[in-house]
Structure 1
Amino acid sequence: MRNHVSESVTIDRLAEAALFSKYHFTRIFRSITGISPGHFMSAVRIQEAKRLLLSTRYTVADIGTSVGYASPSTFSARFTRSVGVGPAAFRGRHRPPTPIFINWLPPRCGTMVHGVVRTDSSLETGPIFVGLFPQPIAEGIPASWTVLPQPGPYRLVNPPKGRWHLVAYPVGPASACITPGSDRGIGARSGPLPIQVGIYRPPVNVTLRTWRDVDPPTLLFLPGVTC
């Protein structure tokens, strides 16, 4: 997938290459990555578009074509839905992060997701984004989020009822952002986490690690927070 972002990579083609039926391949793929093959392919394309926006002077239309979108409007809409801002805004706003602290008000009726973000001593990190998403990928607007100054305790108060995935990743200079020549990032995931209003949840501790090839890329960009 990562080597064919400009091509039409269908589930039938992927399943054939893996020697599985389409339905069996989709089930296995989702069990490993947490999302469908089509969703994963779309995320890889958007991540490559982010890299090109930051590392080249290609136009937005040319970048959209190079990552497999025939229509500039379709590319811009898909990019905005995944990243949170449009391609031009992403290119213009990318800058060192200003740490943001939210969700530190007392929770209602004890509703809170909390724990500790840890990191391997070999990994350099700056501020850490922690958020809740409907799927195990940092994409779109999170249900609840905060940015820590460094790895350590976090808490997300008053998250909506539902089943959420916690995603954490660095947003400092040594971040999960894609840099020229790299397709790797750092982060952590946990979930799904059932959230019920007024029901206490035990701590959810996560450890940052280098993303694997089977981990969906980090897509979300928030103003003042890189990536």
Structure 2
Amino acid sequence: MKERIPDILAYMQASVTQDITVEQVANHFGYSKYHFSREFKRLTGFSAADYLSSLKVEFAKQALLRHEHSVTHSGYDAGYSSIGTFSTTFTRKTGLSPREYKQQVEALYSVAKKCEETDATVIGHHEAPLASETSRCLVSVHYPEGYQAGVTFVGLFHSPIPNHRPVVGVALTKKHTHLFEHIPNGTYYLLACSIEKTFNPMRYFVLDDCLRGRVQHQVRFPQDHNQAFTITLREALPEDPPIVVNVLKLLADSLKNRNA
């Protein structure tokens, strides 16, 4: 099945506007649902259901923002038969309801531009564990020659699909390295994406063509305590999972909590 993953991902992407199920995808490629689901997650690191759901949310984001569709039309366009299900899923993965997402573009874009004047903003999402149960690591980000980064987001996630809040993250602007501290011990994926300097607010919300990168293996703490990791950013590939999480909402929430 490994050699068929690119074709499977392409088929799921092409079917995103349909109310397609994992079982239908499995049948299309001649697998049972159980075998397909097990092998798909083993080979990609994420479940087929989560991937399909994230594709739909990403499609709806683009319908809302790029094409200025209504919330109802965006949900139907993304293959949802129930607008209630669409709204619930969208909110869970982005942190905002579809209507809020559309309304807060300008305000969150202003947050990003202000952030570009600072060195780094830490984005945290964990209940403060005991010091004896935390670790740290150093992360360095490498950019293509000539690239002008606006904001670069780096985070530790539970899945290689960034469709949820990171356990801990950072928004980098003028720095290329960051020392993550107080990382709860566990197993994570170290992911990064970068938004080039721009005056187009949409580029901060629809991240399909932004640079991205990751540490290819899972990072494990405390085993990787005090380790240094390098992420080399590159252009998006067709098989890359969508970046669904609303990075600017995470940034705004972190700044609000810090100033509270």
Same amino acid, percent of matched pairs: 26
Aligned partner (choices 89, 102, 107) of residue 122 of structure 2: 102
Aligned partner (choices 241, 248, 252) of residue 216 of structure 1: 241
Structure having the larger proportion of residues in helix: 2
Which residue matches 1:4? 15
Does 2:187 match 1:163? yes
Aligned partner (choices 183, 203, 219) of residue 193 of structure 1: 219
Paired letter, 1:160? P
Aligned positions of 1:1-227 closer than 5 A: 1-94=12-105, 95=109, 97=112, 98-99=114-115, 101-102=121-122, 111-121=135-145, 123-150=147-174, 152-173=176-197, 177-178=205-206, 183-190=208-215, 191-196=217-222, 200-221=225-246, 222-223=248-249
Q: How far apart, in 2, do the equivalents of 1:121 and 1:164 lie?
A: 29
Preserved contact between residue 188 and residue 218 of structure 2 (Cα < 8 Å): yes
Preserved contact between residue 117 and residue 152 of structure 1 (Cα < 8 Å): yes
Change in Cα spacing, 1:173 to 1:45, as seen in structure 2 (3 Å) is: farther
Q: Secondary structure at the match of 1:217?
A: coil
Displacement after TM superposition at 1:150 (Å): 4.6
Preserved contact between residue 128 and residue 150 of structure 1 (Cα < 8 Å): no
TM-score, normalised relative to structure 1: 0.83
Displacement after TM superposition at 1:21 (Å): 3.9
Q: How far apart, in 2, do the equivalents of 1:2 and 1:122 lie?
A: 31
* RMSD of aligned Cα (Å): 2.9
Q: How far apart, in 2, do the equivalents of 1:137 and 1:159 lie?
A: 19
Aligned length, in residue pairs = 220
Preserved contact between residue 147 and residue 196 of structure 2 (Cα < 8 Å): no
Moved more, 43-52 or 154-163: 154-163
Moved more, 130-139 or 26-35: 26-35
**Structure 1 residue ranges (4+ consecutive) displaced by more than 4 angstroms after TM superposition:** 172-177
Displacement after TM superposition at 1:61 (Å): 1.5
Q: How far apart, in 2, do the equivalents of 1:139 and 1:214 lie?
A: 16
> Unpaired segments of 5 or more residues in structure 1?
none
Q: How far apart, in 1, do the equivalents of 2:195 and 2:135 lie?
A: 26
Displacement after TM superposition at 1:188 (Å): 1.1
TM-score, normalised relative to structure 2: 0.74
Preserved contact between residue 129 and residue 148 of structure 1 (Cα < 8 Å): yes
Displacement after TM superposition at 1:208 (Å): 0.8
Q: Secondary structure at the match of 2:184?
A: coil
Preserved contact between residue 212 and residue 236 of structure 2 (Cα < 8 Å): yes
Preserved contact between residue 128 and residue 151 of structure 1 (Cα < 8 Å): no
Q: How far apart, in 1, do the equivalents of 2:250 and 2:48 lie?
A: 31
Paired letter, 1:149? T
